[in-house]
Amino acid sequence: MAIRGIRGAITVEDDQPELIYSATCELLDAIIKANAGLRVDEIASVFFTMTNDLVSAFPALAARQMGWDLAPMMCAREIPVPDSLPKTLRVLVHWNTATPQKDIQHVYLNEAAQLRPDLVPGLEAKSLS
């Protein structure tokens, strides 16, 4: 069995714990729905990053409250690249699965969809200008 990475990102309206928790749950729910067969007990680990303007909460807490309580998790700050998308929460879920990499569905929500238009249905033809 291989370990596959599932990437995802979502923007958060403001730096408030309840908004960070809500965005985390929305993103993880969308990842579960997009990847048929994903079970929480198959998650090897989860790595969260947030931009420097999000500091009021740990997204891992929301994941644990969703029942992801056995998977090791890490939270970190995103590299502060000038002009990068603000108020962005990113995740990399490591999944123990036989699913081929080409069948993994990555999830980008809200303004974060512009980060990877090639992975967001309906945005493939748009540029990042």
pTM of the model: 0.91
Catalytic hit among 7, 25, 111, 124: 7
Catalytic hit among 4, 78, 111, 124: 78
pLDDT tens track for 80-125: 999 999 999 999 999 999 999 999 999 999 999 999 888 877 665 4
pLDDT tens track for 20-70: 999 999 999 999 999 999 999 999 999 999 999 999 999 999 999 999 999
Catalytic hit among 25, 26, 42, 75: 75
Q: DSSP labels for the chain?
A: -EEEEEEEEEE-SSS-HHHHHHHHHHHHHHHHHHSTT--GGGEEEEEEEE-TT--S--HHHHHHHTT--SS-EEEEEPP--TTPPSSEEEEEEEEEE-S-GGG---EEEGGGGGG-GGGSTTTTT----
Domain 2-119, CATH homologous superfamily name and number: RutC-like (3.30.1330.40)
